[in-house]
Amino acid sequence: MHRNWLVVALAVVCVWAPGSSRGAAAAQGGRTMRLKRVSSVDRQGMRTEAFSLLVPMGWTFRGGVFWPLQNPAMPANCAFTVTSGNSFERLECFPSGAHFWSTNRMLLSNFPPGSKYLGSEVRAPMSPADYLRQVVIARNRNNVGQLRVVDARPLPKLARQLARAQQASPGAQSSAAAAKVRVEYNQVGFAVEEEFYCVIETYSFPVRTLYGVTTSTNWTASYVFSFKAPKGHLAGNAERFWVMIRSFRINPQWFNKYQQVINTLVQQKIREIRHIGQISRIIAQTNDEISDMMMRSYQQRSAVYDRLADQFSQYIRGVDAYYDPVNQRRVDLPAGYDRGWTNGLGEYVLTDDPNFNPNLDSNQNWTPMRR
């Protein structure tokens, strides 16, 4: 089974900050962190919210879901950035990559490396660290100065979680690997550090030909994102980055319809999507009911984001679970604060200052939350 990620991909975390309205704030002894909820609408395809996340106030969100209409198994993709006012702090989500490889030399002579085969780029499978260095960083950071890799390491716990969630067809072999790579470089005269994450999922299966049995491999690079900050300040911004990743949420209704589109394209053996109207007709035939199988897929994908967030949480203190009495739901927020409030609009205030009260000098009604 070909698994697709949309950032952004789509799916989401088992424990999320809630999706409500306008924003969130955290305060600690005079230090504040304020965030707002951003809703990204898939205007080209489903014409509904695809995902949402919390971003720091004053930061700019750009990007979202787009439909390249190349690969029937991955008709849509996602890319976005969340950038600070000075442009030096940034969370970036890169498009997922769909790739194909074969031991059939005749096939490769017709579809050499770099070409497209059924919408997938022909490329030999790579480790996630090599993919980050040779593809993601090489393509997206080729205009910076003195770039050097300062750290590269696998994420075996995440890979094991992915391997357990994979469902390969009979006779096929599947594998999963994850890694992170940290680089340093100069940008307009400033030293910058950036940490990239990536997951590689591989599915190989035998193919009988006139010349014997060959192996075809479909592999995807997903969950590809990075955190950037001035050198020495990446850890100091970790709490903001962590909140954004933790709060990233795919709309389950969007996810449900998107998976139905993929299933229809695969079942009809559509090898090439010719225009968006073709997708629109399929979308019109989808239903809103989310099956148990679809929900399990959604939850499995969510668990992966949890693991990714946990890998980055080594910089920060972790989370505390609060009960939001207005929206009647649980919300995970940065740990280490003594008390919290909600205004019911997706905004939160956390503090360890016993004299702090968000209702003072405010035209909103803040309700205390309990941990």
pLDDT at 313: 60
pLDDT at 319: 63
Q: Read off the pLDDT of residues 139-183 as tens digits, 9 standing for 90 and up.
A: 999 999 899 999 999 988 777 766 665 565 667 888 889 999 999
Q: What is the pTM of this model?
A: 0.76
pLDDT at 191: 94
Q: Where are the domains of the chain?
A: 23-314
Nearest to 127 by CA among 176, 192, 65, 81: 176
- Lowest mean pLDDT segment, chosen from 92-106, 189-203, 206-220, 338-352: 338-352
pLDDT at 310: 65
Q: Does residue 83 carry a pLDDT above 60?
A: yes
pLDDT at 148: 95
Q: Read off the pLDDT of residues 23-32 as tens digits, 9 standing for 90 and up.
A: 455 554 445 6
